[in-house]
Chain A
Amino acid sequence: MTIDLKTVKHISKLSRISIDDQKAKKLEKDLNSIFKWIEQLNQLNTDKVEPLTSIAETTLRLRKDQIESKNIREDILKNSPKDNKDYFVVPKVVE
């Protein structure tokens, strides 16, 4: 299966990464060589194999539903690229 330029642009859209035409062409080449190499997996018949989703075969632990960190608003906002001391600020979403 080959990945064309249109698909590259679609993936870039899904990934929320804008790319220019030059980058898209380079990626088309890279992705095709990577996926051509990945296709060798199709040599294996895996019809009767259960997928391995996690190495740690344990069920997830539940924790008590109680608050452990309090009054950390400043900490949380400390690294924000833009804020007004109470909230994260983003470009306007609703007109």
Chain B
Amino acid sequence: MTNLLDLSLVQLVNRIKSKDISSKEVTVTYVERSKKSKKLNSYIEETFESAFKQSEKFDMKPDFNKKLPGIPFAIKDLFCTKNVKTTASSKMLENFIPTYESTVTQNLWNEGAILLGKLNCDEFAMGSSNETSNFGNVISPIDDNLVPGGSSGGSASALAAKLTPATIGTDTGGSIRQPASFTGTVGLKPTYGSCSRYGIVAFASSLDQAGPMTRDVKDCALLLEVMSSFDPKDSTSINFKRPNYFSDLNKNIKGKKIGIPKEYRVDGMPSEIEKLWENGKEYLKDCGAEIIDISLPHTNYALPTYYIVAPAEASSNLARYDGVKYGFRADGENLIDMYEKTRSQGFGDEVKRRIMIGTYVLSSGYYDAYYLKAQKVRKLIKNDFDDAFNKVDAILTPSTPSSAFKIGDKSNDPVSMYLNDIFTVPVNLAGLPGISIPAGLDKNNYPLGLQIIGKPFDEQGILDIAYSMEEKINFKLDINDWWMK
């Protein structure tokens, strides 16, 4: 029998449905491996005992009509889970136990999935390397001392290390796609409004989206189908007819027009990424797609725009952490003193920095110069994409300007850390769907990803393109389990 751990999510589902294996067997296998993988620091909270109980319950009365029948999932600790601690990797929420469930996780449980535990991430999802977590760095299973990316770093690390068959993350500026790219996995950020934000610890509400992180494109389509739903509890949830992403998945992309934006060829981009991109074009041509050169002229302005818009929204969202109703409280001489000490001691440095940037750009006298300006540039960036999509069906770019870096390499220089998200941030600003798929290795054998950006609500289109490319790329990555030795 093949190793259970080597089965994809879709294969696991099929094996459970055909009664070849039980939910308990799968759960035990993943728990055992997770227990031996503490060195990676990908878990914050383990719910192994309750996972065993739930898998036994499933096996006693299995429902094989479910889409994720008895499948265990570890998930990013930014999703509120009822009666299970949810910290957002912050001291501020280190003892927070939600009394309600996020819609996206509820959708998973409704389809038979079982919670294995909560995964580490950057504090309040603010970071690109998982170095801002209050619970320590996450290590990439690719190499000792390597960052898994961020903010969904624990998710990417756990997925690549096979501590969970698949997982979910959130993406505000690249937090699903960049760690997926760094760890040789697949990550999709859906169109804004596709997955409900209800019950997800808020970072920047006009940008935040939850999405699947998986081993391959088929798994990604299945998980997106489960996650995506219209939700009246999220005021920006959009009621559109969601396709059956999984059953509709196909490789017929003949005649599709794929845009190559010249502005993504940035200064100092390593030649291996240039080559990766060229190969991607060739694969697409092999599949019968047409390659078209396009221009997204305001690309360079996306990151500075993001670093006004996202902190502004964050400063407003995080105003709720005042030590009064829930979360950490530091004692103070009076109410104001309590607020200031609570927030000073409860937040980490990056979160404080972003709250302060946000507060500054929204403050009297600076609002027009910064915040309003950024909203206008955001419009120009969105217009670029609108114009491009008059000519093409999708856009192909690298996922990141480099492969994964070592822990500590960029943590002292905020701007150089921010530049990591140069190819992913424009997609959030324009609210578009984007997927990163593993596409090759660099000279150190670290994974590199390609990103496919789609029209609003055309998740199916980018999944189909990714599915076609995946076959041609035939990405293989051997991970030798060094952290268990």
- Name A residues whose Cβ lies closer than 8 Å to a Cβ of B: 3, 7-8, 11-12, 14-19, 27, 30-31, 33-34, 37-42, 44, 46, 49-56, 58, 60-61, 63, 72, 75-76, 78-82, 88, 90-93
Do A16 and B336 have beta carbons less than 8 Å apart? Answer: yes
Q: How many Å lie between the Cα of A78 and that of B326 in the bound state?
A: 8
Known contacts A16-B322, A18-B340, A79-B97, then 19 further A-B pairs from the complex at CB < 8 Å, ordered by chain A residue = A14-B363, A15-B359, A16-B336, A16-B339, A17-B344, A17-B355, A18-B343, A18-B344, A34-B414, A46-B373, A51-B375, A52-B376, A52-B378, A54-B206, A56-B193, A56-B236, A56-B238, A72-B99, A78-B97
List B contacts of A61 (CB < 8 A).
232, 235
Given contact pairs A61-B232, A79-B326, A50 touches B193 in the complex (Cβ within 8 A): no
Contact with A along B341-366 (1 / 0, CB 8 A): 10110010000110111011001000
Establish whether residues A78 and B336, one from each chain, have CB atoms under 8 Å apart when the complex forms. Answer: no
28 CB-based A-B contacts, threshold 8 Å: A11-B356, A11-B363, A15-B315, A15-B343, A15-B359, A17-B356, A18-B343, A27-B352, A31-B356, A33-B414, A37-B415, A38-B370, A40-B300, A40-B301, A41-B373, A41-B377, A46-B377, A46-B380, A49-B376, A51-B375, A52-B378, A54-B236, A55-B192, A79-B96, A79-B327, A81-B324, A81-B326, A91-B332
The chain B residue with its CB closest to the CB of A7 is: B360
**Min C-beta distance of B319 to chain A, whole Å:** 8
Docked Cα-Cα span, A15 to B312, in Å, equals 11
How many Å lie between the Cα of A80 and that of B323 in the bound state? 8
Q: Write the chain A residue with the least CB distance to B95.
A: A79
B431 contacts the other chain (Cβ, under 8 Å)? Answer: yes
Query: In the bound complex, what is the Cα–Cα distance between A84 and B212 (angstroms)?
Result: 42
A54 to B313, CA, bound (A): 12
Given B324, B340, B382, which contacts A88 in the complex, CB threshold below 8 Å? Answer: B324
Stretch from B260-268, B302-310, B440-448 at the A interface: B302-310
- Interface presence of B328 (CB below 8 A): yes
Closest residue on chain B to residue A40 by CB atoms: B304
A41 and B343 CA atoms in complex are apart in Å by 31
Which one of B340, B360, B382 has the highest number of Cβ atoms from chain A below 10 Å of its Cβ? B360
User: Which residue of chain A has its CB nearest to the CB of B345?
Assistant: A18
Quick check: A55 and B304 within 8 Å, CB to CB?
Answer: no
Q: A79 to nearest B CB, angstroms?
A: 4
- Nearest CB to that of B347 among chain A residues? A17
Task: Say whether A11 contacts B382, CB under 8 Å.
Answer: no
A21 CB, nearest partner CB in chain B, Å:
13
Given the complex, which residues of B lie within 8 Å of A8, measured CB to CB?
356
Interface size of B by Cβ–Cβ distance < 8 Å?
64
Which of chain B's residues have a CB closer than 8 A to the CB of A42?
373
Residue contact A50 to B326, C-beta cutoff 8 Å: no
| Chain B 426-453 interface residues, beta-carbon cutoff 8 Å to A | 430-431
- Residues A38 and B308 in contact, CB atoms below 8 Å apart: yes
Interface contact B340-A17, CB-CB below 8 Å: yes
> B335 near A: Cβ within 8 Å?
yes
Interface check B334, CB cutoff 8 A: yes
Distance of A41 Cα from B429 Cα, bound (Å): 15
Q: Inside 8 A of A50's CB, which chain B residues have their CB? A: 376, 379
Q: Does the CB pair B304–A90 fall under 8 Å?
A: no
Q: Which of B58-107 contact A (CB under 8 A)?
A: 95-97, 99
Pair B343/A44 contact, Cβ less than 8 Å: no
Question: Quick check: B235 and A60 within 8 Å, CB to CB?
Answer: yes
Task: Specify which chain B residues have a CB less than 8 angstroms from the CB of A76 in the assembled complex.
Answer: 99, 325
Q: Kindly name the residue among A41, A63, A72 whose own CB sees the greatest number of chain B CB atoms within 10 A.
A: A41
- How near does chain A come to B314, taking the closest CB pair, in angstroms? 11
CA of A79 to CA of B372, assembled, Å: 37
**Complex: chain B residue closest to A53, CB-CB:** B375
Whole-angstrom distance between the alpha carbons of A78 and B375 in the complex? Answer: 39
Asked if B388 CB lies within 8 Å of chain A CBs, one says no
Give per-residue flags for B362-396: 1 if the beta carbon is below 8 A from chain A beta carbons, else 0: 01000000101111111110100000000000000
- Report A42 CB to chain B, min CB distance, Å: 8
B329 CB–A CB distance under 8 Å: yes
B28 within 8 A of A: no
Contact (Cβ within 8 A) A34 B357: yes
Q: How many angstroms from the CA of A12 to the CA of B336 in the assembled complex? A: 13
Which listed residue, A34, A38, A58, A75, touches B238 by the CB 8 Å rule? A58
Give Cα distance in the complex from A15 to B358, angstroms.
9
Q: How far is the CB of A83 from chain B (nearest CB, A)?
A: 9
- A92 to chain B minimum Cβ distance, whole angstroms, is 8
Q: Tell me the smallest distance from the CB of A35 to a CB of chain B, in Å.
A: 8
Bound CA span A38–B302, Å: 10
Q: How far is the CA of A74 from the CA of B376 in the complex (A)?
A: 45
Which residues on A sit within 8 Å (CB–CB) of B334?
Answer: 91-93
B4 at the interface (CB under 8 A from A): no
